[in-house]
Chains A and B, each alone.
Chain A
Amino acid sequence: MSHPLPLNNQDNQESFVLNLGPQHPATHGVLRVKLTMDGEYIMHAEPVLGYIHRMHEKMGENRTWAQFMPNTGRMDYLSALSFNHGYAALVERAMGIEVPERAEYLRVITVELNRISSHLVWFGAFILDLGGFSPLLYAFDDREHILDLLESVTGSRLTYCYFRFGGLYNDIDENFVDGTREFIKTMRERLPMYHNLVTKNIILIKRLKDIGPIPKETIRKYGATGPVARGSGVDYDIRRNEPYSIYPEFDFDIPVYTECDSMARYMVRMDEIEQSMRIIEQALDKLPEGPVMAPKVPKILKPPKGDYYQAVESARGSLGMRAVSDGTNKAYRLKLRSPTFSNLSLFSEVSEGMLLPDALALMGSLDLVIPEIDR
């Protein structure tokens, strides 16, 4: 439903500027949106970024390749392993390091677990944005299992630094395998409950259906990716379209909805949880034995001169990492293309003429992680 502006735009007499953030419950971080409002209708929205800018890209230039690895876990705090994966794969591509098969499987398992936990946090926080408190606690309950599992192999609960160039820091044990299977079993019971209690709720449907439509052209114009794009009928997922790691070996679907509204984006993420569980199950079944670290990785990495790019699918969309190496032990330039930066960019155009609560539902459906936007 698009809302016509009730007053004419020429003589903006009734408009006022509302500062949404940088401290505001709906922005989930330090995002500031300058809203020009006409009553409760948004005439213009201008996201103001940079409140948590930490110069990660510059840090990439003045530390060695290996030293930058912990930084990658601190940008997108909800799917840190995807960033780990992107950076590790980038440097491996530059150095020509072969990763053992078992390590690739474990990478996929942990990244997909991380994706589920990220979607769970989003699910809870999104319903919280819509005023429903309780689902958050249930989602965090499920996420807790994942955090425990990942803690047992990576050693940390949120800002992982698990991947190494050429493999992994640590092998898994039986408990992890059993725990993951157990988690998938419980999650399969919880997902229908979420759908019964939340997705089919009439208030939620009214809040999301036909709200915040993002046309396909807008997606293309701003380069939006991930669930946001797939909710608008753009059938694009790096895991399938530009395969990396061992994703081609698994049988999984890319959920695509063509409704373009907030409900479509909601459904894409909910379906992705199921698809991630399918990937994990297959990976656990096929998990080969062997080392988790490539045997001969040089202590000091000096990738040959050149320009390298690696894209991975993080929980929020396509994450591109580009490194320019001048042959020394530090990157000459490191550039990240983070998914939510592009996804947020379309907010200004799409939110024009919307009501404030609808715009916040739209913003929630974009699944913003601010440190990843600002870097």
Chain B
Amino acid sequence: MNSEIIRVLAFLVGVIAFAALNAAYLVWLERKEAGHIQRRIGPKEVGPFGLLQPMVDGIKLMTKQILIPDGVDPILFRLAPILAMIPAIMCFVTIPFSQELVARNINLGLLMIFAFASINVLALLLGGWASANKYAVISAARAVAQNVAYEIPMLVTVITMVMITGTLNLNDIVAQQPNISQWYIFRFSASPLMPVAFLIFFICSLAETNRAPFDLNEAESELVAGFHTEYSSMGFGLFFMGEYANIVIGSSLAVILFLGGWQDPFGLFPGVWWFLIKLYCLIFTVIWIRWTYPRTQFYGLLNLSWKILIPISLFNLLLTAGFLKVF
């Protein structure tokens, strides 16, 4: 019993630390990568390779005053950043970093992640609405429309996956993919459209986390800073961390569902490092996309979801169901 409490506490600290460190160092990675894509070197002054830059940024954000403008809804305004961060941390609870390294290996892990991840849009909506700022309200409205549009193909793809795997337990899903030919992205025996399913999932997770080219609700050339226009200090910081935590979760899920999680490609030395390597490769791609593409327009975004992604994912669902029935 006693060891169980210690275990829970250790994982609590570990998960929060992982989320926070990732948020901080993904900013560093993003700035460094953006720098190299743009033929600059990015942050370099603070610490070796600018590695202490996130710490300094964090200290700066924490020492700033939280400015609460007149006319905002004081409770919701303060609640929104917290609501952006906490569900993101909760999602990490069921993510299996390796076979043993999982805070709570529950059978409904996948469902739980989606339940908590959906709260994120509520935080954006509250933040935008409570700010009493026109730009923020437009941004919040966009966020809702975008999340509704992309939740559907994402969940349809996940349902397809669950039909194949037969479980919602993330560790079991990973256990089913022991080497590269059995990763679900290449499992053509389940459905010939598996790579497409991965692509749909990846695009949707970009859109769900409001990353470029789908970052319409923080389009700085249109909406200044979007829903967090009025936020300062750690209010802004929490939104920011929440966004990066969501990227980590989206990429983790893609790794777990399609790329074999902590399993390695060749059946050798499975473990947490393989998970992290795959995770950061995906995150690297996410950042790469952001600094390469311009932003989509809103009808382009919705057209992509309703006219392309949803029909394809539904077709994939049907096809997979047929395959499961026949074979």
Interface residues of A (CB under 8 A from B): 16, 18, 24-26, 39-40, 127-134, 137-138, 141, 197, 201, 203-204, 206-207, 355-358, 360
**CB atoms of A137 and B297 under 8 A apart:** no
Tell me if A207 and B297 are in contact (CB < 8 A): yes
Nearest CB in chain B to that of A16: its residue = B134
CB-contact partner of B213 in A39, A141, A203, under 8 A:
A203
The smallest beta-carbon distance between B289 and chain A, in angstroms, is: 11
Whether B38 lies near A138 (C-beta < 8 A) is: yes
In the assembly, what is the distance between CA of A204 and CA of B295, in Å?
Answer: 8
B294→A127 contact, CB < 8 A: yes
B296 CB contacts on chain A under 8 angstroms: 203, 206-207
- CA separation between A204 and B134, bound complex, in Å? 27
Q: Are B297 and A206 in contact (CB-based, < 8 A)?
A: yes
Kindly report which residue of chain B lies nearest to residue A198, judged by CB atoms. Answer: B294
Whole-angstrom CA separation of A97 from B40 in the bound complex: 48
A-B contact pairs, 5 of them (CB 8 A): A129-B221, A134-B292, A137-B40, A201-B293, A357-B219
B101 interfacial contact with A, CB 8 Å: no
B291 in contact (CB, < 8 A):
yes
CB atoms of A133 and B38 under 8 A apart? yes
Cα A130 to Cα B297 with chains together (Å): 9
Write out, one digit per residue, whether chain B residues 216-245 have a CB within 8 A of any chain A CB (1) or not (0).
100111101000000000000000000000
- Contact partners of B298 in chain A: CB under 8 A: 40, 355, 357
Select A134's contact among B37, B213, B221, B295, beta carbons within 8 Å. B37
Bound Cα distance from A297 to B222, whole angstroms: 52
- Give the Cβ gap from A347 to chain B, nearest Cβ, in Å: 16
CB of B220 within 8 A of CB of A25, answer: yes
Are B297 and A358 closer than 8 Å at their CB atoms?
yes
Cα–Cα distance between A207 and B34 once the two chains are bound (Å): 23
Known contacts: A25-B220, A357-B222. The answer to whether A131 contacts B40 by CB under 8 A is no
B47 within 8 A of A: no
Instruction: State A358–B295 Cα separation when bound (angstroms).
Output: 12
Which residues of B approach A to under 8 Å, CB–CB? 34, 37-40, 134-135, 138, 141, 212-213, 215-216, 219-222, 224, 291-300
List the B side residues contacting A197 at CB < 8 Å: 292
Complex-state Cα separation, A207 to B222, whole angstroms: 14
Q: Within 8 Å CB of B40, what residues of A?
A: 137
Which chain A residue shows the least CB distance to B294? A132
Q: Contact at B39–A131, with CB atoms within 8 Å?
A: no
Q: Contacts A16-B134, A40-B138: A133 and B34 contacting too (C-beta < 8 A)?
A: yes
**B221 touches which of A26, A141, A355 (Cβ 8 Å):** A26
Contact B39 A141 (CB under 8 A): yes
B300 lies within 8 A of A203 (CB): yes
Q: A207 to B39, Cβ gap below 8 A? A: no
The 8 Å CB contact of A203, one of B141, B221, B224, B293, is: B293
Contact present for B295 and A131 (CB under 8 Å): yes
What 4 A-B pairs have minimum CB-CB distances, sorted nearest first?
A131-B295, A132-B294, A137-B38, A130-B294
For the complex, give the distance between the alpha carbons of A10 and B293 in Å: 40
**Chain A residues with Cβ under 8 A from B292's Cβ?**
132, 134, 197
Interface centre among B141, B216, B297, B298 (most CB of A within 10 A): B297
Chain A residues with Cβ below 8 Å from B216 are: 357
Contact A25 B221 (CB under 8 A): yes
For residue B222, give the distance in angstroms from its CB to the closest CB of chain A: 5
> Is A128's CB under 8 angstroms from B291's CB?
no
A131 partner residues in chain B, CB cutoff 8 A: 212-213, 215, 219, 221, 293-295
User: Known: A129-B221, A134-B38, A360-B222. Is A201-B294 also a contact (CB below 8 A)?
Assistant: yes
Q: Which of chain A's residues have a CB closer than 8 A to the CB of B37? A: 134
Cβ B221 vs Cβ A137 within 8 A: no
In angstroms, how far is the closest chain B Cβ from the Cβ of A262?
12
Question: Which residue of A has the minimal Cβ distance to B225?
Answer: A25
Contact A206 B221 (CB under 8 A): no
Tell me the minimal C-beta distance from B284 to chain A in angstroms: 16
| Chain A positions within 8 Å of B299 at CB level | 355
Residues of A within 8 A of B291 (CB): 133-134
Interface centre among B40, B134, B221 (most CB of A within 10 A): B221
Closest Cβ–Cβ distance, residue A180 to chain B (whole Å) = 22
- The residue among A131, A132, A203, A360 with the most chain B CB atoms within 10 A of its own CB is A131
In the assembled complex, how far is the CB of residue B210 from the closest CB belonging to chain A, in whole angstroms? 12
Q: Which of B34, B222, B300 contacts A26 (CB 8 A)?
A: B222
Bound-state Cα–Cα, A25 to B134, Å: 16
Across the two chains, which residue of chain A brings its CB closest to B295?
A: A131
A130 to B135 Cα, complex, angstroms: 17
Residues of B within 8 A of A138 (CB): 38-39
A39 to B142, CA, bound (A): 11
CB distance from A353 to the nearest CB of B (A): 14
Contact: B134 with A206, CB < 8 Å? no
Docked-complex contact A206 and B215, CB < 8 angstroms? no
Task: Write the chain B residue with the least CB distance to A140.
Answer: B38
Give bound CA distance, A128 to B222, whole Å.
11
Task: Evaluate contact between B38 and A24: CB separation under 8 angstroms.
Answer: no
With a CB–CB cut-off of 8 A, which chain B residues contact A207? 294-297, 300
Picked from B135, B138, B293, the residue with its CB within 8 Å of the CB of A132 is B293
Contact status A203-B295, CB under 8 Å: yes
The distance from the CB of B42 to the nearest CB of chain A, in whole angstroms, is 12
Minimal Cβ-Cβ distance residue in A for B40: A137
Partner of A355, one of B134, B135, B293, B297: B297
Bound Cα distance from A197 to B293, whole angstroms = 9
Q: Which of A39, A141, A356 contacts B222 (CB 8 A)?
A: A356
